[in-house]
C-alpha cells in the first residue's frame, strides 16, 4: 500500500482551488462582457415584445458555469488537447445549456440555444484570457461580480 505524502494533498487542494477560482473568474469576465453587450442593445424589440427569460448573471452562473464544468470534464476524460476540439466541445455544451435554459425558463429554444453557444464560446475565450493573465483571477472572480451586484 502506497502512502500519500502530506505535500501531495496540499498540491491537490491548491490545484482544485485554482481551478475553481479560474472558473469563477471566467464567469465574472463573461458576465462583464455580456453586461456590456446588453447595455449596447435593448432587451426587447418592441414589436414582438419578447424579452430574455432570465438575467445575464443568472444565465452565466446557473447555466453557463455548470455547462463549462461538464465541457472541461469531457475534455479531461477524452484527453483532448487541441484548441479546435475544445471549441467544438464547448459549442455542444453551450447548445445543451441553452436548451436547458429554454426548458426550465420557458424561452424560445432556438434563441436560447444560439445564446447558449455564444455564451459558452465567450466562456472558453475568457478561460484562455484568464490562463494567460493570472493576475485577472481575483479581479474577475471576486470584485467584478460584487461590483455588479452592488450597482444593480
Say what the pTM is.
Answer: 0.80
**What are the helix (H) ranges across 65-108?**
65-78, 83-105
Helix 83-105 and helix 109-132, axial crossing angle in degrees, nearest 10? 140
Give percent of the chain with pLDDT exceeding 70. Answer: 86
Could you tell me the residue ranges of all domains in the chain? Answer: 18-39+53-151
Tens digits of residue pLDDT in 100-151 = 999 988 888 999 999 899 999 999 988 888 889 888 888 888 888 787 777 7
pLDDT at 94 over 90: yes
Amino acid at each position: 500500500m502506497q502512502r500519500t505524502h502530506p505535500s501531495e494533498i496540499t498540491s491537490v487542494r491548491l490545484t482544485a482551488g485554482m481551478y475553481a477560482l479560474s472558473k469563477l473568474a471566467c464567469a465574472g469576465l463573461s458576465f462583464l462582457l455580456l453586461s456590456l453587450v446588453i447595455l449596447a442593445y435593448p432587451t426587447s424589440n418592441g414589436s414582438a415584445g419578447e424579452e430574455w427569460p432570465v438575467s445575464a448573471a443568472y444565465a452565466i452562473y446557473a447555466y453557463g458555469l455548470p455547462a463549462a464544468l461538464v465541457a472541461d470534464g469531457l475534455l479531461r476524460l477524452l484527453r483532448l488537447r487541441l484548441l479546435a476540439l475544445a471549441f467544438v466541445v464547448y459549442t455542444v455544451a453551450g447548445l445543451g445549456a441553452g436548451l436547458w435554459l429554454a426548458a426550465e425558463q420557458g424561452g424560445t429554444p432556438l434563441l436560447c440555444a444560439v445564446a447558449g453557444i455564444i455564451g459558452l464560446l465567450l466562456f472558453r475565450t475568457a478561460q484562455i484570457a484568464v490562463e494567460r493573465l493570472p493576475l485577472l483571477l481575483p479581479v474577475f472572480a471576486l470584485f467584478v461580480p460584487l461590483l455588479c451586484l452592488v450597482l444593480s
